[in-house]
Amino acid sequence: MRTDQEHDYVEYVRSRLPRLHRVAYVVLGDRGRAEDALQDALTVLYRRWSRLAEVESLDAYVHTMVVRACLAYVRRLWSRVLLHADVPDAAVKSGTGGVDDRLVVRQALHRLPSGSGSR
């Protein structure tokens, strides 16, 4: 990249960095992840900078790049989830109540009026 193009790139990024960081933070909800995804988008932008003179709305183009980088970051995080073939030793209870509590709740629900009026 030529020196004048690099200067233009630096000035563009410097002037829009706070807004772009907010966009990444809104999409990801985490400051560190937002910074990582934004860095990825800005790296791609740097490589493409010399070809972007004809882009009609550079801000919209870069905004889309940032959102896509955030979504790619989320996909990478999901790809790190490990699934195990082994079944856990004990069943995991979703609540602290036992069978008796469920029966009491079920009986209480049956006593409620239906409210539909279409019987």
Residue 53 maps to which CATH number?
Answer: 1.10.1740.10
Residue 97 counted as domain residue: no
Q: What is the pLDDT of residues 39-49, one digit of tens each?
A: 999 999 999 99
Instruction: Name the residue among 77, 68, 64 with its Cα closest to residue 33.
Output: 77
Predicted structure pTM score: 0.61
Q: Residue 16 is part of which domain span?
A: 3-79
Residue 55 counted as domain residue: yes
Residue 94 counted as domain residue: no
Residue 66 counted as domain residue: yes
Residue 25 counted as domain residue: yes
8-19 burial: b if 16+ Cβ within 10 Å, else e: bbeebbeebeee
Q: How many domains does the chain have?
A: 1
The percentage of the chain sitting over the pLDDT mark of 70, rounded to a whole number, equals 76
Residue 41 counted as domain residue: yes
* Banded model confidence at residue 119, pLDDT cuts 50, 70, 90: very low
